[in-house]
Structure formats: C-alpha cells, structure tokens
Amino acid sequence: MKIAIIIERADIKLGGAERSILELRAALSALGHNVDIIAAKGQAAGKNIHILFQSNAVKRANYFTFEKALREYLTQNKYDIVHSVLPFDFADVYQPRGGSYAETIARNAASYQNKFIEIYKRAFSVFNSRRTTLLQAERKLAQAKDGPAIAALSQYVAEQFKQHYGTDSKRISVIPNGVKITRETNTAQADKLRTEILTKLNLKEADNPVLFLFAANNFRLKGLPTLIKAMQIVSNRQTERGAYLIVTGRDKTKKCYRLAKSIAPKNVFFFGSLSHIQDALAITDVAVLPTFYDPSSRFILEALAAGKPVITTKYNGACDMFVNNRHGKITDSPQDVSALVEAIAFFTDTKNIQSASQAILEDNLQENISINRAARQLTELYVSILE
C-alpha cells in the first residue's frame, strides 16, 4: 500500500507529535507499506520525506498556502491512502495528534486556574488567526457527512469530536497512541544521571529516596504548579520513604522555579531538557503528569513501557492504556492538590511501587502501548477505506 502522511513540520526536535509520526512511518514500513511523509517545513528531507517549502524565510507555512501546494503535489504523485494530522478534507484519514482544536482552546484556558483569565483566553482565542483557521477547518471536516475517517488517539479525543462538533460516531475509529518500546538504556549515562540528581538533592543511596519524574515543556498546562504544592505537603508527612520530584523540560516562564524555591526547595530539582528520557525513567521510580490536557501523553506511555507506575489525570487520553489503582493513579482534576498528595504518598511505599510494576509486566502493557500495534490498527482502517 502506498501511503502519504501529511504533517506541518518534519523535525524530530520539535516534540512528541513529530517524533510519533516518524516512528509511525517506520512501523508502517515494517509491515510492507511504502510510506512518504509530506511536510511544509522540516530539516530531514530525503527519499521518503518531502518538504514542500525549502526556504527558511518563515518558520511556518500558511494553512491555505500549504493546502494549495499539497493539492498540486498529490495530483502529480498518486497514493492509495492520504493520512493527515492537519484538518484537510481531501485526506482519507484525519488523525489530530493534539486532539481537537476546540478542546485544546478550552483546556488551555482552564489551566490558568483563574475564572477571569479563562473567560478572557476563550474569548480572545479568535484573534489567534492560525488557530482560528485550523479550528474552522476542523469543524467543517468533522461536521461533513462524507469527510475523512477520524482516527482518534484515545477515547477522550473521540468524545471531543462528538461533543464539540456532533461528529457521527461511525466516522470515528479509536486507535490509541503508541510508542517505540524497544529503546535501550545507556546504563553508564543513566547511572551518571542518578548520581548527579542525588548530589544536587544532597542525598545518598542509603537515604532510599523515591524519585518522581515529570517531563513537559509547558509547565502550566501540564500541571506542574499543582504538583509542586503537592510535593511540599508530602515532604512534611511521615512516609516510609522520602519523595523527591525531578522536573525535565523547559518553560518560557520562571513562575514554577520561583514556586519550588519558595515552598519545596529541598524536594524539587529542575534538570532541564533531556535528549533520552529512557535514561531518566531507568533511574527514577514513578512518572507523574497532572496535566490539564493531553490527547495521549507519550511520556506516560513511555513510562509504562519501561515498567514504571504512573500518576496522571482524566484529561490525559493515555489513561485508556492502564488501569487506575493497578498500574498507577488517575485523579479527576488537575487542580485537586489533595488527590495528588494521596497518589504521591501511596507510591512512597516500596511495596506499592513493586506491585504496580509487577502488574504492568503481568498484564503485558508493552504490547498494547507499542507503535507496532497502532500501525496494525491503522492498516485495518486503511483497508476498510479502500474496500
């Protein structure tokens, strides 16, 4: 099968969506398909990656300019299936890697945890011309009777299309997000990383700390302020083992740095960006992401693939892939500090960590989380479309 996957920017350095698409291309290719990535911009032009705008004059291509270039490209290059992560109605499959634009706007506004700011952000989102264009295109696509099949990354995303656009459920296929599960850990680098972290926290191995790992580049949206407050409360409790938070990733503001320094200076360590999250997962105990919004977090999936218990919220589509109170903890609200405190405190008990890790192994979550499983499910969707 000859497949075209449309993405705005083919650059793995940009984040999870771009990395996921490159991993998906590899998984589909391993099934015998001929897969091309077609992007407006990017750094990795090659045999199977086609960049339509090579000029570096602008970082992002205009939606309508990209659409015109795509239509021209597709008239000259024939594919059995056109799979797009952007809302182009000429595609056969629309797979929004960031969930629906309507939900993205709503949850981003909610993450400010201030009703006045939330109302302001919702009202003035229309002045973001790019996002408004994409929202309108998505709404038109989702409400059309004969639009593309929608491949939702989670049940959460599927419900978004029904709720915001009234999309017919027959057009929606839930194909859960997947990650590459065969990544190897560099033991030497991981050990060096752990030594550095413990030194910064003024700890020794004999202290037997529980290290909680948080990874994101938008600290507010991913719930870091709430997490820091929860860590401060847990640190004042009598727990079997001490709880410490390792923050990886970068954020434009210094608000979370100041908050941690003022209320939990001994229990929160900001490490900065990491090129290999697997090394960090290997030397920490629990992954935590109390997010306000995530269609299906790669970080949480990669943690489960590494056999680590996880803590997140119901606003994370990755919850589809594990069982609450067995493989990890799911809280109802990213604003609920008390619930987060209880989840963190639960995993300061060694037996609870071991029990969750064992359940992840026994239930073979790796297979469900695999990008290869996602590629097989997408192939089934492609076949049904061709039939």
224 shares a domain with 259:
yes
**Closest Cα partner for 177 from 6, 378, 385?**
378
Yes or no: say if 97 and 89 are a contact pair by the CB < 8 Å rule: no
pLDDT at 196: 93
Q: How many residues does the chain have?
A: 387
Long-range contacts of 92-95 (CB under 8 A, 24+ apart): 92/148, 92/149, 92/382, 92/385, 93/148, 93/149, 93/150, 93/151, 93/378, 93/381, 93/382, 93/385, 94/141, 94/147, 94/148, 94/149, 94/150, 94/151, 95/150, 95/151, 95/152, 95/153, 95/175
Positive or negative, the CA dihedral 228, 234, 239, 242 is positive
Place of tokens 């997408």: 378
Per-residue pLDDT, averaged over 324-351, amounts to: 98
Quick one: which H or E segment has residue 336?
none
What is the reported pLDDT for 12? 59
Q: What is the pLDDT of residues 205-227, one digit of tens each?
A: 999 999 999 999 999 999 999 99
Supply the mean pLDDT for the chain: 93
Range of the domain at 325: 187-369
Q: What is the mean pLDDT of residues 326-349?
A: 98
124 pLDDT tier (thresholds 50, 70, 90): confident
pLDDT greater than 70 at residue 45:
no
User: Has residue 181 got a pLDDT over 70?
Assistant: yes
Is the confidence at residue 92, as pLDDT, over 90? yes
Work out the pLDDT band at 1, boundaries 50, 70, 90.
very high
Residues 6+ apart with CB under 8 A from 298: 16, 19, 20, 177, 179
Orientation angle between helical segments 16-30 and 371-386, nearest 10 degrees: 70
User: pLDDT class for 253, splitting at 50, 70, 90?
Assistant: confident
Look at 295 and 275; give whichever has higher pLDDT: 295
DSSP for 58-104 reads -SS--HHHHHHHHHHHHHHS--SEEEESS--TTSSEE--TT--HHHH
Give the span between the Cα atoms of 386 and 383, in whole angstroms: 5
pLDDT of residue 44: 61
Positive or negative, the CA dihedral 171, 15, 341, 211 is positive
Q: Are residues 50 and 173 in the same domain?
A: yes
Angle, vertex CA 145, rays to CA 140 and CA 148, nearest 5? 70
Residues 169 and 235 in one domain: no
Q: Indicate if 77 and 132 belong to the same structural domain.
A: yes
Does residue 91 sit in the same domain as residue 214? no
Say if residue 31 is in the same domain as residue 83: yes
Please write the tens of the pLDDT for every residue from 357-379.
Answer: 999 999 999 999 999 999 999 99
Using the predicted structure, report yes or no on whether residue 13 has a pLDDT greater than 90.
no
Task: Identify whether residues 257 and 380 lie together within a single domain.
Answer: no
Q: In the chain, what is the straight-line distance between the N-terminal and C-terminal CA atoms, in Å?
A: 13
Number of compact structural domains in the chain: 2
Q: State whether 169 and 216 are in the same domain.
A: no
CATH at residue 286? 3.40.50.2000
Asked if residue 121 and residue 11 are part of one domain, the reply reads yes
288 and 146 share a domain? Answer: no
- What are the distances in angstroms from CA 265 to CA 199, 222, 261? 14, 20, 4
Asked whether residue 279 carries a pLDDT value surpassing 60, the answer given is yes
Shared domain for 297 and 381, answered yes or no, is no
One domain, residues 257 and 296: yes
Classify residue 377 by burial, with Cβ atoms within 10 Å: 0-12, 13-18, 19+: middle
In degrees rounded to 5, what are phi and psi of residue 197?
A: -65, -50
CA distance 272 to 251: 9
If pLDDT is split at 50, 70 and 90, which confidence band does 10 have? confident
Contacts of 321 (CB under 8 A, 6+ apart): 176, 296, 300, 301, 304, 365, 368, 369
* Helix 115-124, helix 101-110: angle, nearest 10: 150
How many helices and strands in the chain, by DSSP H and E? Answer: 15, 13
Q: What is the CA radius of gyration of the chain?
A: 21
CA distances from 119 to 105, 111, 116, 124, 126 (A): 11, 12, 5, 9, 12
pLDDT of 173 higher than 80: yes
Residue 14: enclosing H or E segment and its boundaries? none
